């Protein structure tokens, strides 16, 4: 990938504006996350310092999430600054065509994208998983742990495994192992789901295996009360969300869920959003060029920021809405992930044709 003098100049201008935009957006999102974390302070051993550390460790994830919008805003500000100083006009007069400008934007976009993808896949997941382990340990003590294959907790002589925590109030695939005073397994209970009702849990679709000297007795129950100390509010705070996993772990987890005949739609949505996100970023970069060239030097910084914020908000809301549609209506997540990027890419190409 060769960079000429003007390529480097345009690239540095866009990269600098994009970096500043990312910094502002990540700080804002981290502050919102910190406010949410403060709700957990004083529960268990969770302190203000823990909330600050968890928010700091969670911040790298936002880099990947805001990158398409940040690239759009950064390009609008960077190229807009060049247009305001008549530098784009001078470049085109000197023979630097629209295609050359697009190529320069594409080059810096690819480089920024590679850095962000590497950062979000190699640094962000372990940082957030460590934050989750810290949160779990402080909120629930050392009697619980989370992993991508489920949540484990100890309740006196019982060990509890929950494959899916859901929203913390509706659990799925629960197994409870109860031991006697000699640490021998006496009862294994599996429930398809558990719901928190009033002040207690209710297990549903239950299969129990009781072990005694006479052998194993198996029975089934439609439902049963489960008096567990697990707090739904605390469980919702330690859920391992799909966004916490790198791409390859998401693929492994999806395969694992399918092998066990369980729905992995949330993880499939996260997987495809990670795949499509870089292409969405390129669409945003392409979109910035015709916006700037059509507006020329008469548009102020505030107007560019407003335009970028509106377009970015539409992109974000469309992406989020289609993600919910995929989950609720079981639509192929690959399709719902591609649509927003495709819409904005087509819009960019149409605007570019008019600029020519």
pLDDT at 308: 83
The residues near 136 (Cβ < 8 Å, ≥ 6 apart) are 144, 145, 146, 238
Confidence of residue 297 (pLDDT cuts 50, 70, 90): low
pLDDT at 60 over 80: yes
pLDDT at 143 over 90: no
Tens-place pLDDT, residues 150-179? 788 888 788 999 988 877 888 988 999 999
pLDDT at 52 over 90: yes
pLDDT mean over 12-26: 94
pLDDT at 301: 64
pLDDT mean over 229-244: 77
Q: For 84, phi and psi rounded to 5 degrees?
A: -65, -30
pLDDT at 1 over 60: no
pLDDT above 70 coverage of the chain, percent = 94
CA distance 120 to 118: 6
pLDDT at 20: 94
Q: At what angle do helices 333-355 and 301-329 cross, to 10 degrees?
A: 150
pLDDT at 298: 64
Asked whether 186 and 180 are in contact (CB, 8 A), the reply is: yes
Confidence of residue 295 (pLDDT cuts 50, 70, 90): low
The residues near 99 (Cβ < 8 Å, ≥ 6 apart) are none
Confidence of residue 83 (pLDDT cuts 50, 70, 90): confident
pLDDT at 148 over 70: no
- Show the beta-strand stretches assigned E in the chain: 144-147, 150-155, 158-164, 170-179, 185-197, 200-212, 215-226
Asked whether 167 and 158 are in contact (CB, 8 A), the reply is: no
pLDDT at 26 over 90: yes
pLDDT mean over 44-64: 90
Q: For 114, phi and psi rounded to 5 degrees?
A: -60, -40
Tokens of 324: 């919910």
Tens-place pLDDT, residues 298-315? 666 677 778 888 888 899
pTM: 0.78
pLDDT mean over 236-264: 79
Higher-pLDDT residue of 333, 157: 333
pLDDT at 322 over 70: yes
pLDDT at 299: 62
pLDDT mean over 44-55: 90
pLDDT at 207 over 90: yes
Tens-place pLDDT, residues 85-124? 888 878 888 888 888 888 888 889 999 999 999 988 889 9
- Show the beta-strand stretches assigned E in 54-169: 144-147, 150-155, 158-164
Nearest to 230 by CA among 316, 136, 149, 297: 136
CA distance 90 to 295: 16
pLDDT mean over 289-299: 71
């Amino acid at each position: 990938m060769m960079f000429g003098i003007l390529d480097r100049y345009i690239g540095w201008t866009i990269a600098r504006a994009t970096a500043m935009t990312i910094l502002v957006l990540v700080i804002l999102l981290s502050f919102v996350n910190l406010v949410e974390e403060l709700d957990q302070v004083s529960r268990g051993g969770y302190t203000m310092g823990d909330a600050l550390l968890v928010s700091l460790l969670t911040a790298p994830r936002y880099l990947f999430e805001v990158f398409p919008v940040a690239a759009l805003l950064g390009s609008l500000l960077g190229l807009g600054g060049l247009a305001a100083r008549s530098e784009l006009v001078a470049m085109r007069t000197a023979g630097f065509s629209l295609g050359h400008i697009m190529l320069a934007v594409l080059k810096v976009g690819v480089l920024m994208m590679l850095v962000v993808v590497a950062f979000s896949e190699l640094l962000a997941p372990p940082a957030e998983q460590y934050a989750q382990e810290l949160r779990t340990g402080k909120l629930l003590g050392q009697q619980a742990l989370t992993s991508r294959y489920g949540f484990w907790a100890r309740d006196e002589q019982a060990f509890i495994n929950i494959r899916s925590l859901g929203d913390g109030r509706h659990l799925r695939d629960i197994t409870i192992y109860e031991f006697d005073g000699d640490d021998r397994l006496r009862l294994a209970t599996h429930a398809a789901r558990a719901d928190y009702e009033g002040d207690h849990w209710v297990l549903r679709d239950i299969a129990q295996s009781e072990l005694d000297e006479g052998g194993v007795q198996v029975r089934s129950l439609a439902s049963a009360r489960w008096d567990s100390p697990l707090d739904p509010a605390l469980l919702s705070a330690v859920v391992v969300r799909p966004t916490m996993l790198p791409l390859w772990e998401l693929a492994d987890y999806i395969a694992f869920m399918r092998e066990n005949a369980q729905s992995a739609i949330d993880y499939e949505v996260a997987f495809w959003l990670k795949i499509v996100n870089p292409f969405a970023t390129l669409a945003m970069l392409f979109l910035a060029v015709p916006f700037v060239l059509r507006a020329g030097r008469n548009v102020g910084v505030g107007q560019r920021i407003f335009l970028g914020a509106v377009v970015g908000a539409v992109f974000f809301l469309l992406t989020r809405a289609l993600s919910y549609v995929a989950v609720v209506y079981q639509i192929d997540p690959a399709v719902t992930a591609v649509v927003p990027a495709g819409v904005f890419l087509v819009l960019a190409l149409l605007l570019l044709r008019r600029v020519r």
